[in-house]
């Protein structure tokens, strides 16, 4: 089966609300594997021998499904043969709020304005527009203690309004301002929110995501 057709088959078998997918292409011929990796450059692939991995997302950061289709058809046109398989697929995590603005600090202000007035704790995700931004963003976001999650180019972190785990809203805003100043773009999502928490003999609430405390 040609690679473009195989991708169409994988797409049809994905869950209706899939958000992202990680793919593996095996090309047995070493010369063809090298050429395939070069053609897949727009998808920012990772290569290990004859195995090439890449990522696609329906929205936001990551190559679009149409971009994957175009590149794979290019491989087909050059006679490159291989086995394409789905490694994993993600579904959008139910969140409280997703805000996209040209400037991250504006998205942050809009997100806070939409929250209940007694909010106390947030679990936030910032998805970047490219994996190329990850290293610099990690440095600029260091005061909020960002953590990678999943395969997409994103960081997650906690914000505490008064006390407990997480950066303060003011510190979070300042970090996002610094990212705006350097032209780093993305989408801000508030995944979890708690209101009016009152910890007793603890430093604050804990969320569990896939069995891990965050």
* Structure confidence by residue, pLDDT tens digits, 96-117: 566 666 789 999 998 888 888 8
User: Quick check: 96 and 190 in contact, CB under 8 A?
Assistant: yes
- Residue 34's pLDDT is 92
User: Which residue ranges make up each domain of the chain?
Assistant: 3-90, 97-209
Give, in words, the CATH class of 3-90: alpha beta
CATH of region 97-209, choose from 1.20.140, 1.10.155, 3.90.70, 3.30.70: 3.30.70
At 174-187, the pLDDT tens digits run: 999 999 999 998 88
Crossing angle between the packed helical segments 65-77 and 3-13, to the nearest 10 degrees: 150
In the chain, the percentage of residues whose pLDDT exceeds 70 is 83
**Other Cβ atoms within 10 Å of 7 Cβ, number:** 23
Residue 28 clears pLDDT 70, i.e. is over it: yes
The DSSP line for 64-103 is: -HHHHHHHHHHHHHTT---EEEEEEEE-PPP-SEEE--SS
Predicted confidence band at 143 (pLDDT cuts at 50, 70, 90)? Answer: very high
């Amino acid at each position: 089966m040609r690679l473009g057709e195989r991708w169409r088959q994988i797409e049809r078998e994905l869950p209706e609300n899939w958000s992202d997918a990680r793919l593996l292409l095996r090309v047995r011929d070493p010369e063809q594997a090298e050429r395939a990796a070069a053609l897949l450059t727009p998808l920012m692939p990772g290569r290990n021998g004859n195995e090439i991995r890449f990522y696609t997302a329906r929205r936001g950061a990551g190559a679009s499904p149409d971009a994957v289709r175009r590149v794979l058809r290019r491989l087909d046109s050059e006679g490159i043969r291989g086995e394409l398989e789905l490694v994993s697929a993600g579904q959008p995590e139910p969140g409280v709020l997703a805000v996209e603005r040209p400037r991250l600090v504006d998205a942050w202000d809009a997100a806070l304005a939409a929250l209940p007035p007694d909010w106390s704790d947030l679990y936030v995700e910032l998805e970047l527009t490219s994996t190329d931004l990850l290293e610099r963003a990690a440095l600029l976001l260091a005061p909020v203690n960002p953590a990678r999650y999943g395969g997409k180019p994103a960081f997650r972190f906690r914000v505490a309004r008064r006390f407990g785990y997480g950066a303060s809203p003011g510190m979070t805003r300042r970090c996002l301002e610094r990212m705006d100043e350097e032209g780093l773009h993305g989408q801000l999502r508030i995944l979890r929110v708690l209101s009016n928490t009152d910890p007793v003999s603890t430093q604050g609430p804990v969320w569990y995501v896939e069995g891990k405390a965050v």
